Amino acid sequence: MPESLDSWFKREIIVHEAPLTRFLRRLCPATEDIPDLRQETYARVYEAARKARPASAKAFMYGTARHVVVDRIRRRRVITIDTVRDLDALPDLVDDVTPERQAAAGQELRVLAWAFDALPPKCREVVWLRRVDRLTQREVASELGIAEKTVENHLAKGMKRLAELLLGNRQGDAPDTMQHPNENSHGQHQTD
């Protein structure tokens, strides 16, 4: 007998509530919208699974969440002509990203990834959870099974190291030509 849709949904989707919430926090800075976005994601996944269950439920859920956020942003960007008396007051929605700006942004992202990769693993994890996933210090401590003071220490150490690496690297070298901060001059990794 095939598994019921409700059982499948609980087993494949609901179990990922905490990671989905963190994912939505990264995509949407308005934290008050997170419960609505999560619920909309669940509703869309459930409706789609009625027709056919996705091969990879978790990937489908994250893709759906991304679409939900994009749809929300689009809806908020729509301004009716009736509400705007002066058309010059409409925001300029044209993205003026030139190829040069795109290349510079790509380079900055590579340097940031290089610096982030240079952090010790525990510092990297703490910095990611605090600064990217926007978890509280208490949530990070709980998730990693460490004391809040340890989270604070790892965050301070990680942020200091990132600042040293990023601010010390203003020569414009590409990450693939830079020596990894944890390597000696012979390309061998050193440990802290």
What is the CATH number for 120?
A: 1.10.10.10
pLDDT digit string, tens, across residues 149-192: 999 999 999 999 988 888 875 444 444 445 545 454 445 544 44
**For the residues 101-105, what does the mean pLDDT come to?**
76
Residue 104 has pLDDT above 90, yes or no: no
Distance CA 100, CA 186 (A): 34
Q: Are residues 52 and 107 in the same domain?
A: no
Same domain for 59 and 21: yes
Q: Which long-range contacts (CB under 8 A, 24 or more apart) does 127-135 make?
A: 127/154, 127/155, 127/158, 127/159, 127/162, 130/155, 132/26, 133/22, 133/25, 133/26, 134/22, 134/25, 134/26, 134/31, 135/22
Tell me the residue range of the domain where 22 lies: 5-77
Q: What is the pLDDT of residues 71-87, one digit of tens each?
A: 887 777 654 444 444 44
Is 91 inside a domain boundary? Answer: no
pLDDT of amino acid 90? 43
Domain count, the chain: 2
Residue 28, CA distances (Å) to 65, 93, 158 in order: 11, 19, 24
Question: Residue 43: what pLDDT?
Answer: 94
pLDDT for residue 97: 59
For the whole prediction, is pTM greater than 0.75?
no
> Any idea what the CATH number is for the domain that residue 35 is in?
1.10.1740
Average pLDDT over the chain, rounded to an integer: 79
Q: Is residue 179 in a domain?
A: no
